[in-house]
Amino acid sequence: MADSQALSALRTISQQRQRALWALGIGLIALLWLSLLLGRYPTPGFISLERLMSDELAGRLVFQLRLPRLLTALLLGMSLSAAGFVFQLLFGNPLVEPGFLGVSQGAAFGAALSIVFFSSSALIVQTNAALFALAGLGLSYLLARRLRYGGWVLRLILAGIAISAFFSAGVGLLKILADPLSQLPEITFWLLGGLASLTWQKFFSVLPFSLAGLTLLILYRWRLNLLALSDETAFSLGAAPQRERALLIVAAVLPTAALISVAGMVGWVGLIVPHLARRLFGSDARYSLPGALLLGGWFVVLCDNLARTLLNGEIPLGILTSFIGAVAFLALLSFSGKRWER
Amino acid sequence: MSEPLLVFDRVTFRYEPGAQKVLSEISFDLPARQVTLLFGPNGCGKTTLLYLTLGWLQPEQGTIWAEGRPLSSLNRRQRGRFMALVPQSEHTPFDYSVLEYVLLGRAPHLPSLAEPGELDIEIALNALARVGIEALAHQSLRALSGGERQLVLIARALTQQPRLLLLDEPTAHLDLQNTYRLVEVVRQLKRQGITVLMTSHDPQVVLALADQVVILRQGKVFRQGRLDEAFTSEVLQAVYAIPLQITMVQGKKTIQWL
């Protein structure tokens, strides 16, 4: 019977995908454990467990510095990848990334504004970046409503581009105004992105936003597919397309804004990881969204390990994610290209 | 004549207040288990009328009744189980398998955040079999021809287990062979008890499928009734303002330009 054949083929595919998700998840836990032991103290490489138990400095280093940093890297990777995945799906466009609706440039502007005019204290820079990230989203939305060109999705994309350009011009201006010896380097480092100054306090300040957003997206994973369809079709399938899309955009932007505000600009994660996830798990968001989440965690934790151990000094994380992301992207496009989005 | 499934009662619609009326005082009955064709030239309001039926657009005046109660009293989920839309075409930037795509039709039957289970998969596979493409279940949508894609859209609609099927110009992008295949599929669905409301500007499709026609011209019902009464040479000439004629060729009606 054709039906039962198709059914068992489907079962096999689902089982394979589920097993791959479990493997990625368990591997990620192992990676976190190894990463915790990896560093440049006392010598570059892994620290032994005996040393960790006996050396008080090592204990503090691992649990007060490495652990919150590692967990934030995990959240960063998961949030940017999940948000990028959801954005690409909702906008029906494989080239959008989570910061494109004015969120990334808004955050950069907020951070630079704070460094130049208010204070470079971490908490104030972070708060300002988060507020301007959300302002970027809000302005993009309001502008999109006023545009008289194209459909809703196109208008949002155009508005996002315009608002981003507006904020990046603002960042340029602030760089000119900044004190070249103290403020300018700070802005530059913020823009390059990194987790060097991560503390438990910062981790806990982003955790609730990140968890809330990601939980909603995970619960929505199958239904997300509906919202990739045209408004009329999604409506005919019992969805409320505009309302549900707005909800999901907010759920994707909240964790993104929170994490950009502590980690700065960490590029390419939200663009490349969703592609990789769809390659491995198919387009059905039921599997590829959790896949993107886990792969994003892997990618950023690995990049951050390199950032903090490769050289004596810290390499900005954003440089590594962009470099490795670009190489991976090209490799993905060049090899096994049996099906690639038009 | 069987009980009507839907009744359109003086439905008027415009896109913005003050704009020109797209549809004006449209009234007709949709008999159950029959195929009704909305026919007319481009821009006469066929698709708008389909979207009003779907509930995606709301009439400015008038009511659409579904078995004695206003259609607008159904919630989104109820509506998704009552009727299904087959859009004219659908662009998907991502690469779903046919079965994954068809399974989306289960959405109105599932609680908001639930996922389809074994039963839903069987319903989806059954829908694929009904349109004759069960062998394509695990193909990628991208690998399909235009005709097969149209059948996938119909299968997704059938997966909703609707009583009313709305088809928007289903043959618009199809070649002759695929048009024939689609016509056969719709005939079979009608035999299985599904009510069909379908737009078309292809008179050949109308002649092949329709039990009843509603002919629209400039936003008004120009003529309506059973196929042989309403779909005549005179009516067609008036609608298109070009000389054409319905003639019999080997016992079947065809359209001829004069």
What number is the ipTM of this complex? 0.92
Highest mean pLDDT, choosing among A10-19, A177-186, A233-242, A262-271: A233-242
Q: Is the dihedral of CA A243, A247, A248, A249 positive or negative?
A: positive
pLDDT in tens, B113-129: 899 998 999 999 999 99
Q: Which residue of B has its CA nearest to A13?
A: B138
Are A237 and B108 within 8 A, CB to CB? Answer: yes
Kindly tell me if the per-residue pLDDT of A126 is higher than 60.
yes
Q: What is the residue whose two structure tokens read 């060729």?
A: B249
Q: Which of A261, A275, A291 is nearest to A332 (CA)?
A: A275
Any B CB within 8 A of A117 CB: no
**pLDDT band (50, 70, 90) for residue A261:** confident
pLDDT in tens, A30-51: 999 999 999 888 888 888 888 8
Q: Which residue of A has its CA nearest to B107?
A: A237
Are B93 and A342 within 8 A, CB to CB? Answer: yes
Our measurement of the distance from residue B144's CA atom to the centroid of its chain's CA atoms, rounded to an integer in Å, reads 22
Q: Mean pLDDT throughout B188-207?
A: 92
Q: Which of B49, B74, B94 to mutate to test the interface with A (most CBs of A within 10 A)?
A: B94
Listing DSSP states for A144-172 in one string gives HHH--SS-HHHHHHHHHHHHHHHHHHHHH
CA distances from A158 to A39, A129, A229 (A): 44, 22, 20
Are A228 and B92 within 8 A, CB to CB? Answer: yes
Any B CB within 8 A of A313 CB: no
**A342 to chain B nearest CA, in Å?**
7
**A57 to chain B nearest CA, in Å?**
48
**pLDDT band (50, 70, 90) for residue B214:** very high
pLDDT in tens, A57-107: 888 889 999 999 999 999 999 999 999 999 999 988 888 888 888 888 999
B 123-142 → A contacts, CB under 8 A:
125-126, 129, 134-135, 137-138, 140, 142
Q: Mean pLDDT throughout A129-138?
A: 90
Other CB atoms within 10 A of residue B76 CB: 14
The pTM (predicted TM-score) of the whole model is 0.90
pLDDT in tens, B75-115: 999 999 999 999 998 888 788 999 999 999 999 999 988 99
Q: Which residues contact A116 (CB under 8 A, 6 or more apart)?
A: A174, A177, A178, A179, A183, A187
Q: Find out whether B98 and B152 touch, Cβ atoms under 8 Å.
A: yes
Are B85 and A282 within 8 A, CB to CB? Answer: no
Average pLDDT, chain A: 89
Residue of A6, A221, A233 lying closest to B90 (CB–CB): A233
Kindly tell me if the per-residue pLDDT of A326 is higher than 60.
yes
Give CA–CA dist B78/B116, Å, rounded: 18
pLDDT in tens, B137-184: 999 998 898 889 999 999 999 999 999 999 999 998 888 888 999 999
Any A CB within 8 A of B111 CB: no
Helix H or strand E encompassing A262: helix A241-263
Size of interface A-B (CB pairs under 8 A): 112
* Diameter of chain A measured on Cα atoms: 75
Higher pLDDT, A29 or B247: A29
Average pLDDT, chain B: 91
Give CA–CA dist B97/A27, Å, rounded: 28
